[in-house]
Chain A
């Protein structure tokens, strides 16, 4: 029997959507659904990287700050330095990749716990972001940096290219995790490091790759953030580490590693998005949205634990 974790998140998403549709006529409109996707886009993409890491039984606290750094590198390079915008984007992606690699190298070669390493790099990335940007917001971005915030129409509804990129990334990651040997090995090292070692799976190489790829994914999230907000904001991303972990957990992935699905994470991110959006439409203040998100996380983990204990 598959644990509740497999279908629970989807049921929770559908139930909450049905509830808010019954409370507000404006909820179930193409425009509003497109808005929800745009609101979850940045954290949603970041949560893909977070899922890969949590599947290996790791955790990444640095993701939001790494993304903020990437967004400042992109915007400052393009605006203040006057770099070709595509080169500027590449520099921002490289900064994020470098931080991902640093996380991975410290975890595998110095053998430090992921929690501590990424707590350290969180602070380092934050400080570098502030120093590098002089805590100044960058505006007046060239069109190339804004592309993913622009829209095309599906029927009456305007959809951003960024949300399409997010969906494409989720399906690609889901496919690769399911159908490739490195994808299966990610599950194996999270589920049983001892079995992975005895079966000669190259765990170090795999872990470094996972953290580095996560860095690249945070870089893409940085590009989406810049496109969505239209500025380079050095204060961005400060709660995104916990928001991305929330999406992963709500999506039914185990924090102990080796169990879960990346599509669950997308549903987890959407659950948070639907609640925030629906409660706003109902006129409920935003602190209650945070309260409810907290309750949801605890409920999700409890359900997951209970369903596994039953096995």
Chain B
């Protein structure tokens, strides 16, 4: 990658997405800096989820531009964003419960054996995949036991850990997390928040979409507040109170 030319990793300008007369995105801007956790908050219908979908390739905006490391990019499908190094941890986790942790980490991206065995017969290299899986999980301090157990035998927090580890393993630029703690209890939520910090500390910026305001204020470096299909504010977490953030979300006050 070389020396980063700018602190900006991902940027969007003037994103528009209309469904009939409703504008889910109405000229939304977005920016993500190197090494930060960016919280994205907003009321229901503010266009949070459309914004995230546009950045992860799940939605094609009608207008606007997305820049990754300063270069203009176009995503027609989630696979395009992934190939550019943007990984998403979906709310529903996207794991196959009956399959092992290793298999889920590499689902759709298996490592094949070298030579014709791999290219022609599509034989997978289980040893290598297991080794990468172990180093990935231990690097993020995810404690799981055997990586050859089925994901359905894990707790909710551990499953989330597998999904995060997969994203972190393959992301080269950005990890997007959509409501990662929505289905978890307090203790497991705390574990996942620590995990998100570790992903950031390894140099990957994280976009965290969440309804949980205290969590966003606890973990985010900056906060993007979405309202009526646009970015209503972009603030450092220490520069705003939770009450003011809610007020901006609901339109009671406007940010300068």
Q: Do A and B truly interact?
A: yes
A interface with B by C-beta (< 8 Å): 179-182, 184-185, 187-188, 191-192, 194-196, 198-201, 258-259, 311
Q: Which 7 A-B pairs have the closest CB atoms?
A: A199-B108, A198-B94, A192-B96, A181-B110, A191-B96, A195-B94, A180-B122
Please tell me if the beta carbons of A184 and B124 are within 8 angstroms of each other in the complex: yes
**A258-B108 contact given A184-B124, A311-B153, CB 8 Å threshold:** no
Complex interface bits, B78-110 against A, C-beta within 8 A gives 1, otherwise 0: 110010000000101111111100011001111
Q: Which residue of the partner chain, among A180, A192, A201, A258, contacts B121 with CB atoms under 8 Å? A: A180
> How far, in Å, is B76 (CB) from chain A's closest CB?
12
Residue of B with least CB distance to A202: B108
Q: Which residue of the partner chain, among B78, B82, B95, B123, contacts A192 with CB atoms under 8 Å? A: B95
Asked if B201 lies at the interface with its beta carbon under 8 angstroms from chain A, I say no
19 new A-B contacts at CB < 8 Å, known A179-B126, A195-B104, A195-B107? A179-B124, A180-B121, A180-B123, A181-B110, A182-B122, A184-B99, A184-B103, A184-B107, A184-B110, A187-B99, A188-B103, A195-B94, A196-B107, A199-B107, A200-B77, A200-B78, A200-B82, A258-B98, A311-B153
**A191-B98 contact given A179-B124, A184-B110, A198-B90, CB 8 Å threshold:** yes
Residue of A with least CB distance to B126: A179
Cα distance A198–B90 in the bound complex, in angstroms: 9
Please tell me if the beta carbons of B94 and A199 are within 8 angstroms of each other in the complex: yes
Please tell me if the beta carbons of A198 and B78 are within 8 angstroms of each other in the complex: yes
Q: Which residue of the partner chain, among A182, A199, A259, contacts B98 with CB atoms under 8 Å? A: A259
**A195-B96 contact given A180-B121, A200-B78, A311-B153, CB 8 Å threshold:** yes
Please tell me if the beta carbons of A201 and B122 are within 8 angstroms of each other in the complex: no
- List, in ascending order, chain A residues with CB within 8 A of B108's CB: 185, 188, 196, 199-201
- List, in ascending order, chain B residues with CB within 8 A of A259's CB: 98
Complex A-B: 26 CB contacts under 8 Å? A179-B123, A180-B121, A180-B123, A180-B124, A181-B110, A181-B112, A181-B124, A184-B99, A184-B124, A185-B108, A187-B98, A187-B99, A188-B103, A188-B107, A191-B97, A195-B93, A195-B94, A196-B96, A200-B77, A200-B79, A200-B82, A200-B108, A201-B107, A201-B108, A259-B98, A311-B153
Residue of A with least CB distance to B95: A195
- List, in ascending order, chain A residues with CB within 8 A of B94's CB: 192, 194-195, 198-199
Q: Which residue of the partner chain, among B79, B92, B98, contacts A194 with CB atoms under 8 Å? A: B92
Cα distance A228–B108 in the bound complex, in angstroms: 42
Asked if B152 lies at the interface with its beta carbon under 8 angstroms from chain A, I say yes
Residue of A with least CB distance to B149: A1
Cα distance A191–B94 in the bound complex, in angstroms: 11
- List, in ascending order, chain A residues with CB within 8 A of B112's CB: 181
- List, in ascending order, chain B residues with CB within 8 A of A194's CB: 92, 94
Cα distance A185–B108 in the bound complex, in angstroms: 7
Cα distance A118–B109 in the bound complex, in angstroms: 32
Cα distance A201–B79 in the bound complex, in angstroms: 10
- List, in ascending order, chain A residues with CB within 8 A of B93's CB: 195
> How far, in Å, is A126 (CB) from chain B's closest CB?
35
Please tell me if the beta carbons of B122 and A188 are within 8 angstroms of each other in the complex: no
Cα distance A194–B92 in the bound complex, in angstroms: 9
Residue of B with least CB distance to A254: B98
> How far, in Å, is B169 (CB) from chain A's closest CB?
13
Cα distance A191–B98 in the bound complex, in angstroms: 7
> How far, in Å, is A306 (CB) from chain B's closest CB?
16
